[in-house]
Amino acid sequence: MKKVAFICVHNSCRSQIAEALGKHLGKGIFESYSAGTETKPEINQDAVRLMKEIYNIDMEKEQYSKLYKDIPTPDILISMGCNVSCPVLDKKFYDNWQLEDPTGKSDEEFKKIISKIEENIKKLCIAIHYLEIKEKGIKIFNQFDDFISIYAKENITDAWYDDGVIIAQEILQLFDDEDWKLLNKELNFKSILWKQRLAYCLGNENNLNEFETLLKLVDTYDEELFELVIDSLRFFKTEKTRGFIKNNPQIIDKVNKLISTSNIVRKKVFEEFLKYNS
């Protein structure tokens, strides 16, 4: 089982919450630890109080502020988000959650951070599950295909938007170049609804594989799929991606053709796309 360490400077608040929720939500999936490069005499008392109130978890029962060197060597490091003073460690961070420190703030602000940590822990559980599959040599695309196929049915649309899309996006983050090649090779054999689900998942402006897949999906007679693709393409605003779109004037032409007959929501999507790509 993988060891996950949640890191911030003082290991007194956010990282302690993450450790506790990791033990609570990630039991059987990963071992949860937290640490810092400095320590505090006690865990933040507002965090202790609210974790008891919300989850009935007593953080002081098993947890305390500790240094990175005092925990087992982790497989995965997560930074809580330390602004200008992030710890410098001997291992690369898997992710930076960029969470504001709620110390000294209202219960409402504290609860927002706790809720975000809970959401991130759930996503991490999914990512670790598929990461372990990948490490076994099983192609992640095949797992993604099976997952999307479950949701490519009209009668489970609500479940897709509630949970499915979040899991699908986590799986996509584990794709390597071979997985993207497989996906694009199989696109022509997929149903319109499968393609719609895929288009809704894409939009990471730092991932050119996602952008290139959207350019393949945009060539469609299905107006709903076309709208979803344009909606996702709005997030790609670099000079390189805008250049690709301008070199494909048929995309702009189709948006201009459909915009006059679109409803308010679709019109807004199209207008924002044209704002950055005309």
CATH number at residue 14: 3.40.50.2300
Does the pLDDT value for residue 69 go beyond 60? yes
Asked if 264 and 240 sit in the same domain, the reply is yes
Among 3-7, 25-29, 92-96, 133-137, name the one with the lowest average pLDDT.
92-96
Cβ pair 251, 218 in contact under 8 A: yes
201 is catalytic: no
179-204 average pLDDT score: 94
Residue at which a domain ends, from 88, 103, 135: 135
> Is 150 found in the same domain as 218?
yes
Same domain, 99 and 197: no
pLDDT at residue 13 is higher than 60: yes
Q: Is the pLDDT of residue 89 over 80?
A: no
Residue 118 shares a structural domain with residue 151: no
Choose the catalytic residue: 8, 13, 125, 201. 8
How high is the pLDDT of residue 137? 84
Same domain for 124 and 45: yes
Other Cβ atoms less than 10 A from the Cβ of 213: the count is 23
> Does position 94 have pLDDT exceeding 90, yes or no?
no
22-26, 36-40, 224-228: least confidently modelled range: 36-40
Q: Would you state the pLDDT for residue 51?
A: 97
* Domain end position, chosen among 92, 112, 135: 135
Taken as a whole, the chain contains a residue count of: 278
For the chain, give the mean pLDDT.
Answer: 90
Q: What is the pLDDT of residue 91?
A: 64
- Select which of 13, 82, 125, 201 is catalytic: 82
For residue 90, the model assigns a pLDDT of 58
**Which has the closest alpha carbon to 169: 134, 118, 126, 218?**
126
Give CA–CA dist 126/240, Å, rounded: 32
41 and 119 part of one domain: yes
Per-residue pLDDT, 84: 41
pTM: 0.71
CA distance 69 to 67: 5
185 and 261 together in one domain: yes
Q: Is the Cβ–Cβ distance between 141 and 175 less than 8 Å?
A: yes
* Average confidence (pLDDT) over 108-119: 96
**In Å, what is the CA distance from 233 to each residue of 79, 166, 200, 214, 276?**
29, 18, 10, 7, 10
Backbone angles phi, psi at 229, to 5 degrees: -65, -45
Look at phi and psi of residue 56 and say left if phi exceeds 0, alpha if psi is from -120 to 50, else beta. left
Range of the domain at 49: 2-135
Residue written as token pair 């004037």: 249
Per-residue pLDDT band at 138 (split at 50, 70, 90): confident
- Domains contained in the chain, number: 2
Task: Report, as an integer, the average pLDDT of 227-250.
Answer: 91
- Residue whose tokens read 């919450």: 17
Helices of type H across the chain: 14-25, 45-55, 59-62, 107-135, 140-151, 157-159, 165-172, 177-186, 192-201, 208-217, 223-233, 239-246, 249-259, 264-277
Tell me if residue 125 is catalytic: no
135, 169, 193 — which closes off a domain? 135
**Is residue 256 over pLDDT 80?**
yes
Active site residue 86: yes
* The pLDDT of residue 88: 54
Spatial separation of the C-alpha atoms in residues 273 and 231, rounded to whole Å? 7
The pLDDT score that the predictor gives to residue 83 is: 55
pLDDT of the residue at 42? 93
